[in-house]
Every structure is written in structure tokens, then in C-alpha cells.
A and B are shown apart, each in its own frame.
Chain A
């Protein structure tokens, strides 16, 4: 995972609730065995069906921030959704709320999810209809700032923040506690009734 740096970008607005991971990357495009190359099929169905879908518009193609409504990323656990958003170029998503597994997957890849109150998001949506919103995302200070210097703070899980800022991952963290894991396993083996390689036929 690359470490996260403060950045400024225009915002693409996607004002619909319950955007599921099937919309973000349809199942047909999950047959790859690599982590890259999913960006071209990001929102593939919607881009094919709706000519005015925001990602089809030339002015939005370079944006690194996606503005979304509530319960974004619901449905399937496919991490490919996060890979697709990131390989398209998104580095942060600002919205009212995110589904649990999507949130977890985003954290593991360094995609920053920013939750703000519904009123703030709604006002962004309505302004985005007529103006270009340029926003600076500062994870270290947990705030986003508009061009006119209006800023909004957001809450963020401290452990995840540290991981994203420093580019650390769970495996490296857990391997530091290998001893605790072994001790735990040794004390609990009594409640383990099978080994998958040895079926009790």
C-alpha cells in the first residue's frame, strides 16, 4: 500500500443512494487474477446505459474525489470494487455513509472514505450541479477544505489512519504479535473438533 499524501482535486458527484458493488464493478469483470486493470470497467453498466452518467463526462475524468450519498458500497464483498475505483484514479470518497465490508476493504487499500452529515453532502450535491467543487483532502488533520477555505472536519479510525498515512498493512501488524497468536491457539485447541485435511469418515 502506498502512503497517503494530502491532495486537491475536483469532485465528481454521484447523487444516488445504495450504490452496490455490482454497480461499481459487475460480476463479469471479476474473472481476472490480478489486482490491476479494473478501472476501465468501473460502473461499466451505468456508463453503457446512461450517456450522461457522471464518469462519461469529459470534465470529470481526471477527478480524484467521488461524492456519494448513503450506504455506498453495499452488497457483495468484492474488493475488486475498491481496486476499480482506485485504478480509475479515485483517492477519496466523500459521502453520508458506507457499507461495512466496503469500508473495511477501502481501508486495506488506502482509499480514504470520509463521512459527513447528510446536510453537508446535500449542499455539495446541489452546488455541484452548477459549479466545480475543488476540495483538498487532509487525512492527517482529518479535514477537507474548499477553495474558499471553508473546511469540514471528519472522524476517522485512528489505527486505520496510521496505516493509511504510513502505508502499513494488517499482516505486518499481526505478525508482530505472532507469540500472542500461538499462545491463544495452544490454549483453545481443546475446542477444535476437526482438521479439514482429516475428515472423520
Chain B
């Protein structure tokens, strides 16, 4: 029988199946962070249940920590308690922990960079962007805190089999257009609930030509169209990335692993529940104008006119525009910004920093713009310093900060003030996401850097040599 990549991984992880009951499904690896784990540890502690297996866990700090230079002191008392609680929990349960100075970073950045994320695995975390790890052909999805407790206690979850969707990216990118634009285009096309109940497999020539960081950007935002997970079949590019990573198989185990990983692809003739094709050939850089990720436009397009819409859509558009301080029917290009943010689990990797640095080199950040550059991890930060990118950012007038989730969700001190506008490489432009009243425009790292220079949203193409 022809199977999809998803079905192969699913079948491999079935512990028990019984009609009328959810499947008992094995989880290979769980990442933990300070915001969604405390109550889960309480659950197993209160019930006296031992950890299922600490060797399938790794904890770090990312969501609520400061990103300023002196990050040891956390001024917000409840955030400080949350961080201390994680430190206490990992000590009590003897869980591997990447604290400050030990490889700390955003969960979805460090999993791949240490080779913890490997093809064929099942990976969960109390964070919806766990879908990122699907770039390696690992079935990965976000869970709530109750399920974090379930995995701590049993190494399993109860799951209903999701549907499958194939998304084929055809063609190739024009200059100035990146993986971020491709995924924003998909979300704009199928809507933010378009893949509810599905696991997406991304296929096509464009995917095969992508580096791992680009594939991670694509899978990362699968949740923004409602998908449970995003998957990409592993190939030579995946193996090349994983080779010699800290947790990658070594010596004769390496070849054995590659043989298995090579079997992880959808068979010819397999069936998906839904199929979508996106052509990238004529795509331009995308920027969102509204208050959810489907409300995006190509850089030279105009915001929808009220007269083009149904009554129901009109009300929703009016709400979005009033919050965003924008006018229907006007071009998005040229809109003035006060903030720029480069970072997050979507676009906080070294390659993203390189793209932005290339554009900033020899230029200055506009005097009205505050530009935060927040590396996704300590490793990314060290690499950036090694390559001299930090100097480029500083010379240009950008603020090169310590690693964390930062302004992506404004849980720490990094917030966009009310009614101010931010061009952001993050993943969500929801109302208040970057701070109460903040106005977020999602875009690629290149669009973020170029717009920061001009103080307004622009097409990054002219800054590419």
C-alpha cells in the first residue's frame, strides 16, 4: 500500500489502537520551557507519578526572560518566579537543562541546532510553533500543559489520527522573495483555519532547493493556517545539516540512521485528503496589513476596499483597519514604521541574521526606528559575533540583544508601545501580540531590514546586490 510520510511516522508510533478509543501514541522527545511547564510538574508531583524518561526531555528558558545585556535580573516578579520554578523543577526531576551560558535559546531553535530534532521522530512542546521541527521529517506539534504532564508521566499521548494535506510549492523565488513570503502566501490563500485538522506535507521543487533554516520557517508557520503539524521529507540537505551535530548519530550509527531516514518519504500514488498548489514564480515580498496572518498583501498591492466586501467581512475589515490605523484601498508600501524586529522561532537563525546584515551593511537604521535584533539562541549569537554581524548591526544603529522570544509575543519587557508600528520577522500579528495596542506587520528578515533603513515599509529588492 502507498503511504504518505505522515502515515509512516504515525504507524511507527502506535502503541495501542482500539476501536472507539483514541490511539495511544508514543512521543520520542519533549522540549520544556518556563511558561507552560510549571503546572505540569505540579500534576505529576501532586499525584506522586515518577517521570517516564528524563532522557527524552530537554528544558531551556525563552518566553519570559529579558533580552537586555544584563539579563540575570528579572524585574517582573511573576516572570522571575516562573523562571525560578523551572530551575527548581529540572533540578528536582534531574532533567537536562540548557540554562544561560549552557546553550540557552528558543526551544525550536536549539532542538535542531543540537541535532536533537531528527527525521522520523515525534516531538512535542507546550508551544504551538513546535511544528518547526517538521522541517526534518519529524512529526511535531504543540500541546497544552495537561498534555505536557501526560508526556512527563507516560511518554505517550492520546491522539486521533489527523487528515493530510499536500502543499506543493512550484517554481522558484524572485530576488527579494524568501521562504517567509512563500508561507505567508499559503496562509493568505487558504486562510488561518484552512488546514484545521490536517497535517501538511510540503513538497515541490522549491522545497527541495531550500536550506534547512528556510524549511523551518515554512513548517514553523503551519500552525498559522490551523495545521496540527507541517512535514518535509528528509533528503541530502537534511543529512548534511545533521551531520556532526551534538546529538546526531556518530560513526557506524550514522549510516544506519541515514538508511532509515531515507525511507521517510511519501510513496508514489499515496493519497492526501486535500491538495493545494502555490506558484512562486511571480511572487513578490509579502507584508501583512491586518490582525491575523492571512491578512497579507504583496508589497505593491493595495489594502482591500470596503466596497468589494460582504457586510460581515466589512465589519471585520473595519475593525482590523481601525486597530492598525490604516485606510482601505491604500498601498501598504510606504507606511511609516517606528519599530523593527528581527528574531523569533520563525526567523531568528543565523541565516536570517546574515540576510539582514547584508542589507544593513553600509546603511543606517532610520532615525525614527528602533530596531531589535534578537538571536534565536546563544549559539546563533556567538556565530553572529564570530562572523562580525554584531558589528554591522551596531554600526547601523540596530540593537543586537541576548537570545529569547522577545518582541514576538511581548511577554518580557520587549514591547511595541500602543499605536506604534512594527515590521516584524515573527509569526503573529494578532491584536496586542507585541504589546497592548501595538501594530504588527509580518514580513521576511530582508523586508524588515530594508524597511528599518527607510523608516517605512518598502520592497527590499533594491538593497540586494
Q: Which residues on A are within 8 Å of B, measured CB to CB? A: 16-18, 20, 22-23, 26-28, 30-35, 45-46, 48-49, 70-71, 74-79, 82, 97, 99-101, 104-105, 108-109, 157-159, 169-171, 173-175, 177-178, 180-181, 184-185, 188, 191-201
Closest 7 CB pairs between A and B?
A: A79-B144, A195-B55, A105-B144, A71-B193, A108-B146, A31-B78, A77-B142
List 5 interface pairs A-B (beta carbons < 8 Å), by A numbering.
A174-B156, A174-B158, A184-B15, A184-B26, A194-B247
* Distance of A184 Cα from B24 Cα, bound (Å): 11
Does B24 contact A27, Cβ atoms closer than 8 Å?
Answer: no
Residue B118 at the A interface, CB < 8 A? Answer: yes
A77, A170, A184: the one within 8 Å of B36 (CB): A77
* Distance of A74 Cα from B126 Cα, bound (Å): 15
- Map CB proximity to A onto B418-452 as digits: 1 under 8 Å, 0 otherwise: 00000000001011110011000000000000000
Q: Which residues of the other chain, A, contact B12 by a CB distance below 8 angstroms?
A: 188
Closest residue of chain A to B224 (Cβ to Cβ) is: A75
* Distance of A162 Cα from B38 Cα, bound (Å): 27
Q: Give the Cβ gap from B111 to chain A, nearest Cβ, in Å.
A: 11
Residue of A27, A97, A188 with most chain B CB atoms under a 10 A cut-off: A27
Q: Which residues of the other chain, B, contact A74 by a CB distance below 8 angstroms?
A: 192-193, 226
Within 8 A of A (CB), among B93-113: 96
Does B146 contact A180, Cβ atoms closer than 8 Å?
Answer: no
Does A26 contact B432, Cβ atoms closer than 8 Å?
Answer: yes
Q: Which residues of the other chain, B, contact A170 by a CB distance below 8 angstroms?
A: 146-147, 150, 157-158
Kindly state the interface size class of chain B when it binds its partner: 35 or more
* Distance of A64 Cα from B16 Cα, bound (Å): 37
| 9-residue interface stretch from B249-257, B369-377, B392-400 | B249-257
Does B226 contact A71, Cβ atoms closer than 8 Å?
Answer: yes
Q: Which residues of the other chain, A, contact B38 by a CB distance below 8 angstroms?
A: 33-34
Q: Which residues on B are within 8 Å of A, measured CB to CB? A: 12, 15-16, 20-22, 24, 26, 28-29, 35-36, 38-39, 42-43, 47, 49, 54-58, 63-64, 76, 78-79, 81-82, 85, 96, 114-116, 118, 120, 126-128, 141-147, 149-150, 153-158, 160, 162, 192-193, 196-197, 223-224, 226, 228, 246-250, 253, 257, 260, 292, 316, 319, 409-411, 428, 430-433, 436-437
Q: Give the Cβ gap from B137 to chain A, nearest Cβ, in Å.
A: 13
Q: Which residues of the other chain, B, contact A22 by a CB distance below 8 angstroms?
A: 409, 428, 430-433
Does A75 contact B128, Cβ atoms closer than 8 Å?
Answer: yes
Does B120 contact A78, Cβ atoms closer than 8 Å?
Answer: no
Does A23 contact B431, Cβ atoms closer than 8 Å?
Answer: yes
Q: Which residues of the other chain, B, contact A200 by a CB distance below 8 angstroms?
A: 246-250
* Distance of A196 Cα from B96 Cα, bound (Å): 6
Q: Which residues of the other chain, B, contact A16 by a CB distance below 8 angstroms?
A: 316, 319
**Known contacts A77-B143, A105-B146, A108-B146, A174 near B24 by CB under 8 Å:** yes
* Distance of A157 Cα from B36 Cα, bound (Å): 26
Does A193 contact B247, Cβ atoms closer than 8 Å?
Answer: yes
Does B153 contact A101, Cβ atoms closer than 8 Å?
Answer: no
Q: Which residues of the other chain, B, contact A28 by a CB distance below 8 angstroms?
A: 410-411
* Distance of A17 Cα from B294 Cα, bound (Å): 13
Does B55 contact A100, Cβ atoms closer than 8 Å?
Answer: no
* Distance of A74 Cα from B187 Cα, bound (Å): 13
Does B116 contact A196, Cβ atoms closer than 8 Å?
Answer: yes
* Distance of A27 Cα from B64 Cα, bound (Å): 9
Does B55 contact A30, Cβ atoms closer than 8 Å?
Answer: no
Does B15 contact A100, Cβ atoms closer than 8 Å?
Answer: no
Does B193 contact A99, Cβ atoms closer than 8 Å?
Answer: yes
* Distance of A169 Cα from B154 Cα, bound (Å): 13
A30, A71, A104: the one within 8 Å of B143 (CB): A104
B54, B146, B160, B409: the one within 8 Å of A196 (CB): B54
Q: Which residues of the other chain, A, contact B248 by a CB distance below 8 angstroms?
A: 193-194, 200
Does A71 contact B196, Cβ atoms closer than 8 Å?
Answer: yes
* Distance of A188 Cα from B156 Cα, bound (Å): 14
Does B226 contact A100, Cβ atoms closer than 8 Å?
Answer: yes
A18, A34, A199: the one within 8 Å of B39 (CB): A34
Does A174 contact B26, Cβ atoms closer than 8 Å?
Answer: no
* Distance of A178 Cα from B49 Cα, bound (Å): 12
Does B36 contact A171, Cβ atoms closer than 8 Å?
Answer: no
**Known contacts A45-B431, A45-B436, A79-B36, A97 near B54 by CB under 8 Å:** no
Q: Give the Cβ gap from A200 to chain B, nearest Cβ, in Å.
A: 5
Q: Which residues of the other chain, A, contact B116 by a CB distance below 8 angstroms?
A: 194, 196
**Known contacts A101-B128, A171-B154, A201 near B246 by CB under 8 Å:** yes
Q: Which residues of the other chain, A, contact B35 by a CB distance below 8 angstroms?
A: 30-31, 78
* Distance of A158 Cα from B16 Cα, bound (Å): 18
**Known contacts A18-B192, A32-B78, A71-B192, A99 near B150 by CB under 8 Å:** no
Q: Which residues of the other chain, B, contact A185 by a CB distance below 8 angstroms?
A: 26, 155
* Distance of A178 Cα from B52 Cα, bound (Å): 10
* Distance of A174 Cα from B18 Cα, bound (Å): 13
Does A31 contact B411, Cβ atoms closer than 8 Å?
Answer: yes
